[in-house]
Amino acid sequence: MFKFKRVPFTPGDLTNHQWGTDDVLAGDPNTTILIGDAGGSMFDFSRGGNDTFTGPSFTGGAPIHYTFYGDAAGDMFDFARGGDDTFTFASPSNTAYGDVGDDMSDHSKGGNDIFSGTGPATNTFYGDAGGDMSDHARGGDDTFTGGSGGGTNTFYGDAGSSMSGHARGGSDTFTGGSFTSNMSYGDTGGNMTGRAQGGDDTFTGGAFSFNTFWGDAGGDMSGHAHGGDDIFTGIIDLPAPSSNTFYGDAGGDMAGHARGGDDALTGSSSASNTFYGDAGGDISGSAQGGNDSFTGGSLASHVFFGDAGADMAGHARGGNDIFTGGNDSTNTFYGDAGGDMLGRARGGDDTFTGGNSSLTGSTTFYGDAGGDMSGRAQGGNDAFAGGDSFGPGSTSNILFGDAKSMSGCAGGGDDSLAGGDNFGTGSASNILYGDAESLSGCAEGGDDILFAGTAAPGGTVSNVMWGDGLLQGGADGGRDLFVFKDDGPATVGTRNTIEDFSQSQHDQIKFSNVAGVHAFNDLVITQSGTDTLVTAGADQVTLHNFAGSLTANDFLFA
């Protein structure tokens, strides 16, 4: 049986079963490059020591740049393993490599390293390798804390360049510095290919800062690459707001059979937050988004992309995501793609809840695509609940069950859309599209359920409802249900319009808990120009551009 042999620092390679010693190293103006174990590479079964590095405080004069290598300046391969190193910096310009400055390959493994910046500085920390990770290389579980008070913190959880083969990132923890710019890459700054796997990372933004987080790859994910299950948290910032941009998995595109992780993203209050559940660009091929959860902060601006910031094409599939908007905020949700869905792309089954408003707020939901759905793209079966209004405030909800528009032979999902309620003395405005503003070609709407919002005495609510959208060409609508449900003194009122009621599509209207209304004979139906007015107790619904004869089969009661 081989025994590890402890050896002091070598300017060459660490090989065989050599094991570096546990050293305490301190930089100074005459010693700006420090290497924990080997000036060359590490291979065979060598192992780095558990080293401690300290950068000196800045005492004036020209800033000095310090570069520290936890184990080796070159590569790590075979079954080599990095030590568990600790880096602490107080100087204004620092670069640290947790294990090696270049590449990690074969079955090499990075150590569990700790990086800490203090004060205003430009810090660049690589958790494991400054270059690539390939084969079965594995990153360590590293901890990063940025410096505060100015400068820039750039963290690479595992590899500065790319990850390929069966490489796997560690489960890293990132904490951004305050009053600075923080950029954190959970696993690699470049691309993930092959069967590379991201670690399960945790990110916390710095206060009063510009925070950008990439859960797994700063570039693209392809092949069978798989993102980790990451947690992103912004923090409350008053009075100076932060800006947070979260990429759950890839900053670029996802293609092939790549798959996003199941991420949890929480935005800051009083901040600008942009969330990409999986990819900042396109999702194509047979790539699939993860099942992500998004929670917005209050008094903020939020833009949520459930899966792709741009388009979804091929056989791409969105994850089943959960969105919760921030209160008194501007919330915009794209369930799957911020752009178009085409080919045979399919949206996930997403759940949306708008933020409430005691002051003012607005929510816009796109169940699947913010642009056009075409080809044979299919929307998911989504559930929407608009934000409510409290006190003297106002809220506005615009809900699209599937997309802004639908063409080709795209199909809408079977969605549930509920307008927001008004519990105060202000107002709530709801515009609900079961599928899209317009449907053309051979597009087909889903069988949707639309719930009107209510208002308490002293407040107002308006509900404009489209079961499908404007049908053009040979497009068909679904079988939709329009629900008007009172809740004691809170009623749907008289400002309700159904824009596309269709008997040929077997649409129905349901009145529930409406005082004095239990059957068809309790309704008062009149004609007003090209519209039909349906009065149910104290409530009224206008069927716009509908002049047909309504029968009991068109209504349900509860």
- The reply to whether 221 and 365 lie within a common domain is no
Residue 467 tokens, joined: 């079961």
pLDDT of residue 236: 65
Last residue of a domain, one of 218, 233, 265: 265
* 74 inside domain: yes
pLDDT, tens only, 393-410: 899 999 999 999 999 999
pLDDT at 354 over 90: yes
pLDDT at 304 over 80: yes
Identify the CA nearest to 244 among candidates 188, 301, 325: 301
232, 172 in Cβ contact below 8 A? Answer: no
d(CA 257, CA 158) in angstroms, rounded, equals 22
387, 397 in Cβ contact below 8 A? Answer: yes
Mean pLDDT of 528-557: 98
- The reply to whether 74 and 167 lie within a common domain is yes
d(CA 197, CA 359) in angstroms, rounded, equals 44
d(CA 6, CA 14) in angstroms, rounded, equals 11
**Residue with structure tokens 């299919």?**
378
- If one counts every other C-beta atom within 10 angstroms of the C-beta of residue 557, the result is 17
Last residue of a domain, one of 209, 230, 265: 265
pLDDT at 234 over 90: no
- Work out the pLDDT band at 253, boundaries 50, 70, 90: very high
pLDDT of residue 279: 99
pLDDT of residue 338: 99
**Total of domains in the chain:** 2
pLDDT, tens only, 466-498: 999 999 999 999 999 999 999 999 999 999 999
Identify the CA nearest to 462 among candidates 367, 395, 547, 554: 395
Residue 506 tokens, joined: 């077997």
Q: What percent of the chain has pLDDT over 90?
A: 90
Task: List, in order, residues 6 or more apart from 59 with CB less than 8 Å away.
Answer: none
pLDDT at 63 over 90: no
Residue 144 tokens, joined: 């990063």
Q: What percent of the chain has pLDDT over 70?
A: 98
pLDDT at 136 over 60: yes
pLDDT at 238 over 70: no
- The reply to whether 380 and 527 lie within a common domain is yes
pLDDT of residue 503: 98
Strand order in the sheet with 403-406: 369-373, 403-406, 438-439, 470-471
**Residue with structure tokens 């174990």?**
37
d(CA 306, CA 355) in angstroms, rounded, equals 17
- Work out the pLDDT band at 269, boundaries 50, 70, 90: confident
Helices (H), 244-327: none
pLDDT of residue 239: 54
pLDDT of residue 235: 77
**How far are the Cα atoms of 3, 17, 156, 299 from residue 277, in angstroms, in the given order?**
47, 44, 20, 22
Mean pLDDT of 257-269: 95
Mean pLDDT of 29-35: 94
pLDDT of residue 97: 99
d(CA 201, CA 318) in angstroms, rounded, equals 22
Peptide bond into 457 cis (omega under 30): no
The DSSP line for 120-179 is: SEEEEEESSBSS-B-TT-B----EEE---SSEEEEEESSBSS-B-TT-B----EEEPPSS
248, 278 in Cβ contact below 8 A? Answer: yes
Residue type at 357? S
* 469 inside domain: yes
pLDDT at 60 over 80: no
- The reply to whether 406 and 524 lie within a common domain is yes
* 553 inside domain: yes
pLDDT at 1 over 70: no
- If one counts every other C-beta atom within 10 angstroms of the C-beta of residue 106, the result is 17
pLDDT of residue 519: 98
93, 121 in Cβ contact below 8 A? Answer: yes
Q: What angle do CA 48, 53, 56 make, to 5 degrees?
A: 160
Q: What angle do CA 311, 189, 257 make, to 5 degrees?
A: 45
State the pairing for strand pair 523-528/531-536. Answer: antiparallel
d(CA 512, CA 498) in angstroms, rounded, equals 17
pLDDT at 290 over 90: yes
* 369 inside domain: yes
pLDDT of residue 188: 99
* 68 inside domain: yes
* 279 inside domain: no
pLDDT at 120 over 70: yes
Q: What is the mean pLDDT of the chain?
A: 96
**How far are the Cα atoms of 78, 227, 503, 517, 544 from residue 521, in angstroms, in the given order?**
83, 58, 19, 9, 22
- Work out the pLDDT band at 237, boundaries 50, 70, 90: low
pLDDT at 240 over 60: no
pLDDT at 389 over 70: yes
pLDDT at 200 over 80: yes
- The reply to whether 496 and 402 lie within a common domain is yes
Task: List, in order, residues 6 or more apart from 369 with CB less than 8 Å away.
Answer: 312, 334, 336, 337, 338, 339, 340, 341, 347, 377, 379, 402, 403, 404
- The reply to whether 355 and 257 lie within a common domain is no
Determine the distance from the C-alpha atom of residue 484 to the mean position of all C-alpha atoms in its chain, rounded to a whole number: 33
Last residue of a domain, one of 230, 265, 300: 265
d(CA 241, CA 329) in angstroms, rounded, equals 14
pLDDT at 352 over 80: yes
Name 400's bridge partners: 366, 433
51: domain range?
18-242+250-265
**How far are the Cα atoms of 7, 38, 99, 136, 289 from residue 72, in angstroms, in the given order?**
14, 5, 6, 19, 37
Determine the distance from the C-alpha atom of residue 107 to the mean position of all C-alpha atoms in its chain, rounded to a whole number: 32
Q: Which residue has the higher pLDDT, 290 or 58?
A: 290
- The reply to whether 405 and 534 lie within a common domain is yes
Q: What DSSP state is assigned to residue 476?
A: B
- If one counts every other C-beta atom within 10 angstroms of the C-beta of residue 239, the result is 6
* 83 inside domain: yes
State the pairing for strand pair 369-373/272-276. Answer: unpaired
Mean pLDDT of 357-366: 93
pLDDT at 274 over 70: yes
* 293 inside domain: no
